[in-house]
Amino acid sequence: MTIAELNRRVQSIDLAALKTDAFDAVKDDIVIFNREQLAKGKKSDGEDLGDYGGSYREERANAGYQVDYVDLKRTGKFYESIYARLEGEEVEIFSTDNAEKVQALIFGGNGVRKGGFGEDIFGLTDENKEKTKELSTDEIITIVKNITNL
């Protein structure tokens, strides 16, 4: 391949499509990372979700669920409803679960502790952001190699 051909191939790279393709390659990982954080009782800022207390702790224990820390998991519906999508330059992580339930988890009310758990239940810790960057960088490299035939 000549330098001119390589230059033509590099110039043909659609950066917007490259960004979208890289995101599409890692969006399932982003969702998995968010679910894993919650399952460990962590928010995206690294803070703990807290502890289960009182009668709800007892109810969870009697039903066979873990009670060592809040994990926001009972049926699994909320976890399954978490999604990631690209909104311009930002990645949005949110839920398709019942809107009232999600609002209660964030802000409190409807049987959820006063003040809720905050918007940081959605998002990635710094460690998981780094993992995502590595995965998306690997995907970009693969795409560019395919385009340039290197």
Kindly tell me if the per-residue pLDDT of 111 is higher than 90. Answer: no
pLDDT tens digits for range 19-45: 999 999 999 999 999 999 999 999 999
CA-angle at 34, arms to 79 and 89, nearest 5°: 120
For tokens 């976890």, the residue is: 79
Structure tokens that stand for 35 in this block? 């679910």
The C-alpha torsion from 26 through 31 and 34 to 40, rounded to 10°, is -110
pTM exceeds 0.95 for this model: no
DSSP character at residue 48: B
Q: How confident is the model at residue 117 (pLDDT cuts 50, 70, 90)?
A: very high
pLDDT higher for 149 or 55? 55
Kindly tell me if the per-residue pLDDT of 76 is higher than 90. Answer: yes
Task: Give me the residue spans of the domains in the chain.
Answer: 14-148
